[in-house]
Structure 1
Amino acid sequence: MPQALTRDANRLGVARPRHKSPVVLTALSPQSGRCRRAHRSLGQSTIVGLYELGGIAASVAVTGPLFGWPTAGLVAATVAATSAVGLSGYQWRSMPSVLDDLPRIVSRILAVALFVVSVPLLASRPGIARDALLCALMLLVVTIAARALAYGTVVFLRRRGIGLANTVVVGSGEEGLRIGRALEAEPSYGARMMGFIDDGPDPGDESTPGQLGRLDELPRLLRDYDIGLLIVAFGGSGSDSLVDLLRTLGRSRCEIFVLPRLFEMYGGTGRVQLVDGITLAHTRRAAFRCRSLILKRILGTVLAGLALVVLSPLLAVVAIAVRHEGGPGVIFRQQRIGMDGVPFTLYKFRSLKPVGDEGDVRWNIDNDSRLGPVGRFIRRTSLDELPQLWNIVKGDMFIVGPRPERPHFVEKFSDTVPGYQHRHRVPVGLTGYAVTQGLRGDTSIERRATFDNLYAESWSLWLDVKIVLRTVRQVLRFK
């Protein structure tokens, strides 16, 4: 593994949680300097899930005898499934309220009702459709009541010091101090304020915990204090150094909230929380921590396998043409760097025969005089990349992700290009966001790293679909 990636992997490893369980076991108290034992408690999503499942079970017990067990069970099972999906991405809530969730709850259960009711209506069974609708309405009322009771329980436990997340604030400026004082004074926010992390002077305020350390100690402090909530406010360091540092925390279990610029005018759209009237924006969950990544892996493997079968005639034609032009050795094997700096063997159709280790250290061969008509054509049309479908089936890479690079250049760019090492946070891919911006071949490495990191931080399945469609358009235009 290149040295630059080894250093980056070590930084990532620092923030790796020591305990697999999300339950806080011990935490250091900066006020007393002694270790203290934190309360064992159920997570917020667990409490909400238990209350809702209890409400669904009670609703089925009531509606089953009235409208039939199959109808009541079908509605309840569908609602429970959608509820579980919704709760899987729960994060810290400063002031949990059922009123904030009401639009989502209503829309979810109404969608379930329309789905369940449509089947008997299509079968000309209006009686069953009416019963299903009544079951759904009953579940809507029960779900709202269960969510309200669950949040009441969460706040009740918080006020007694149960279920509080160990919290640090990065930045001890005016806003950071205000947030720290609010969290310290009001346990119903669900945060146990441990202290500040900043390169500036200690706030020196007796009403709030003191400074725990400097920014370069952040990964270690998160581990030592078993931090579950990290709030980034304004402090003595610039945003560039903070971005680099926060990107190394992808494997930390803590939730990260950021105080946005012009927070006084921040409309509060998206996943935001308020602490003493200050808006905090939740950073996106790292792509490799999302359950959707499992679906992406399964879909990618299936689609790549199907593509190998469907495109097998084309693969055969290209292989014969390459063999005819350049002789034996149709497939070119080359070591590339994947997620977390793990090397793997990448497969391509050979466009020319390299001399010695030329393929590992030479940047571009587009203008090489040794390229024949076949080699130029398959490079121009990206047909030389098709054998990488086998890499996708093997699990070395995905369909969409940052393009994998050779170890020599990864080490070089990691030392010279800002943010380059962070593009290895996500699995590499056959095509990527940078590719759709025309950034391939002899183009700016800085811009590639920018778009690769943007992809890592804004990843979604729909973004992958858009990238694939744009890549197909580029290939069809030979662009």
Structure 2
Amino acid sequence: MTMDSAPARHTGQGGTGPAGGSAFAPAPHAGARRSATAIHPPRRPRADQARSAVRPKRTRRRSRVLPLLTADALATALTVATLPAPALPAAAALPAAALLPVLLGALHAQAGLYRPRLAPSALLELPVLAGRSAVLWCTAAAVVAAVDRPHALGWSALLTAVCLQTVLACAGRGLANQLHRRAAVRRPASTLVVGPGAGASAVAAALHGRPEFGLRPVGVADPVSDRTLPGEGDTGALPFLTTHEDVRRAVIQNSVRHAVFTRPPEADERTAALVRLFHDHGCRLWLADPAGTAKITGMRLANPGDQLWGYAVQPLLPRPARPLERWVKRVVDAALALLALIAAAPVMAACALAVRIGDGPGVIFRQERVGLYGRPFTLLKFRTLRADEHEAATRWTVAGDRRMSPVGSFLRKSSLDELPQLWNVVRGDMSLVGPRPERPFFVAKFATVHPGYEARHRMPVGITGLAQINGLRGDTSIEDRARFDNHYIDTWSLWQDLWILARTAASFFRFRLGGS
């Protein structure tokens, strides 16, 4: 069933649904029988819906980051201005007022104090604020003592600064949270609830009954269900969506900005596929756990104290959340790949000459592969098979393949055929370390057979990876590869990347049976 054909029941209240029907009312259920009132999807002009369909990624979304940054900066500036004159020399007051907010912002970001939350509380953050304030002012005191020892901060001035900073930061963040909460009540964001009927109905009713969370349910998606109509006690009269196309249409028609999952998306492949759809439309993802037992295995866990009317809730971050480390990874990838291209130029020239003499024209083999979030790209390799691209796209390569020439066999066993992929890394199609990319035909095939295979695309694909250094190349277990790849993503770090590169370099010229 699509949003256009969803049945509507008259509730005696005004408003229209996304398809122009009557308002929707959730059916009673065990957790919300007393609060089963009408849920009205927000009404937007058709022009706005058209703009959303054309530019889904530009959906505007409220953010707490800027108000919180402002509150933290003002708290630091007021603390510097309030300190007694002897405590902080005049020459250092102005630089401190400029640099200390930056340092505090970095400390708070590292502690996760700027992460999205549905029920933020400055008082609950008070211990973390006090600890970061102590680190900030102890660092400032150490710098002042090293630069201008006669004006070093005493213990009383240091304690005053820490306490004042903590109180002001807590008060400022509390005010920012209150303003954000009021704005959320005035302008709730359209939200889809994703999960089985009973739990999804409970979460949808909680969202409708508590407007301070700022999320207004406009539909329930259950891609695992084979039903075409919701059952009693599941979703009530909210539109019930069972296909990927239904969800996409609902996101566009209602300008959906949030998606609340009632179980981890990795629970099944069809639910996991919705993560990429929501991400491409600029939606923020959450996990609300009605049963209280769900565990995240493929998404980063954050905000352990956040809740949605008693339900534990976590933001789901499909991309590994450490943007600074991701940026460093990209810089390191590009620099090392460029240096490797220059250093390996003679070897690559020899490989190209061998392929040209042994197998004829067509030295470089180009093939479509699936990269980050399922986006296709053109992968480059030295040609090792006597076959056209159409056949290679849907035929699995194994050791001893008759299409492979002696030159191709040598290149495949020594992994020298992978060297042109360094250019893919320079271009940004790939990373040096990550899950190996596969052809679209096999991605679709493996995703329906092997649990967790689709989740490999949460990370940029790579030339080498954790599965490859453990011998999972060529005609080896796809299930084992997916398990190693997802473990790499779940435990990713820059140090692990360097370790994998070192292991790969140590075995680069070893002959192997088969290829990737």
TM-score (norm 1): 0.72
Among 331, 339, 353, the residue aligned to 1:298: 331
Tell me what 1:191 maps to.
215
**1:436-451, aligned counterparts within 5 Å?**
436-451=469-484
Tell me what 2:72 maps to.
52
State how far apart, in whole Å, the 1-side matches of 2:143 and 2:208 are: 53
* Distance change (3 Å), C-alpha of 1:163 and 1:147: farther
Q: SS of the residue aligned with 1:263? A: coil
Tell me what 1:215 maps to.
242
Q: Does 1:35 align with 2:43?
A: yes
Tell me what 2:177 maps to.
151
Tell me what 1:465 maps to.
495
State the shift of 1:468 in Å.
3.9
State how far apart, in whole Å, the 1-side matches of 2:71 and 2:444 are: 49
State how far apart, in whole Å, the 1-side matches of 2:276 and 2:207 are: 25
State the shift of 1:412 in Å.
4.2
Q: SS of the residue aligned with 1:430? A: strand
* Distance change (3 Å), C-alpha of 1:77 and 1:281: closer
**Partners of 2:466 and 2:485 within 8 A in 1:** yes
Among 376, 382, 386, the residue aligned to 1:355: 386
Q: Does 1:142 align with 2:168?
A: yes
Unaligned runs of 5+ in 1: 1-25
Q: Does 1:251 align with 2:280?
A: yes
Tell me what 2:3 maps to.
none
**Partners of 1:434 and 1:451 within 8 A in 2:** yes
Tell me what 1:7 maps to.
none
State how far apart, in whole Å, the 1-side matches of 2:411 and 2:178 are: 63
Tell me what 2:311 maps to.
278
State how far apart, in whole Å, the 2-side matches of 1:32 and 1:434 are: 49
State how far apart, in whole Å, the 2-side matches of 1:437 and 1:345 are: 23
Tell me what 1:10 maps to.
none
**Partners of 2:73 and 2:101 within 8 A in 1:** no
State the shift of 1:96 in Å.
1.2
The CA RMSD measured in Å over matched residues stands at: 4.5
State how far apart, in whole Å, the 2-side matches of 1:384 and 1:229 are: 44
**Partners of 1:164 and 1:187 within 8 A in 2:** yes
**Partners of 1:338 and 1:396 within 8 A in 2:** no
Q: SS of the residue aligned with 1:111? A: helix
- Give 2:428's aligned amino acid: G
**1:114-193, aligned counterparts within 5 Å?**
114-122=138-146, 125=149, 127-128=151-152, 130=154, 135=161, 138-158=164-184, 161-171=185-195, 173-193=197-217
- Equivalent pairs: percent with the same residue? 27
State the shift of 1:469 in Å.
0.9
State the shift of 1:52 in Å.
2.6
State how far apart, in whole Å, the 1-side matches of 2:179 and 2:259 are: 24
**Partners of 1:117 and 1:133 within 8 A in 2:** no
- Give 1:438's aligned amino acid: G
- Give 2:206's aligned amino acid: A
State how far apart, in whole Å, the 2-side matches of 1:87 and 1:112 are: 16
Deviates more, 1:209-218 or 1:446-455: 446-455
* Distance change (3 Å), C-alpha of 1:241 and 1:379: closer
**Partners of 1:45 and 1:88 within 8 A in 2:** no
**1:320-331, aligned counterparts within 5 Å?**
320=350, 323=353, 327=357
Q: Does 1:414 align with 2:451?
A: no
Tell me what 2:253 maps to.
224
**Partners of 1:264 and 1:278 within 8 A in 2:** no
Q: SS of the residue aligned with 2:123? A: helix
Number of equivalent positions: 434
Tell me what 1:335 maps to.
366
State the shift of 1:345 in Å.
4.6
Tell me what 1:391 maps to.
424
Tell me what 2:462 maps to.
429
- Give 2:284's aligned amino acid: E
Among 57, 73, 87, the residue aligned to 2:98: 73
- Give 1:49's aligned amino acid: L
Q: SS of the residue aligned with 2:280? A: coil
State how far apart, in whole Å, the 2-side matches of 1:54 and 1:278 are: 34
Describe the superposition over 1:340-398 as per-residue Cα deviations: whole angstroms up to 9, x where unpaired.
Answer: 443325144x6x5x4352896264364368765x8766644534433432332232322
* Distance change (3 Å), C-alpha of 1:101 and 1:219: farther
Q: SS of the residue aligned with 1:282? A: strand
State how far apart, in whole Å, the 1-side matches of 2:363 and 2:150 are: 64
State the shift of 1:97 in Å.
0.8
* Distance change (3 Å), C-alpha of 1:225 and 1:277: same
Among 95, 104, 124, the residue aligned to 2:128: 104
* Distance change (3 Å), C-alpha of 1:172 and 1:140: same
Unaligned runs of 5+ in 2: 1-15, 25-38, 49-59
Q: SS of the residue aligned with 1:183? A: helix
**Partners of 2:272 and 2:455 within 8 A in 1:** no
State how far apart, in whole Å, the 2-side matches of 1:71 and 1:359 are: 64
State the shift of 1:449 in Å.
4.3
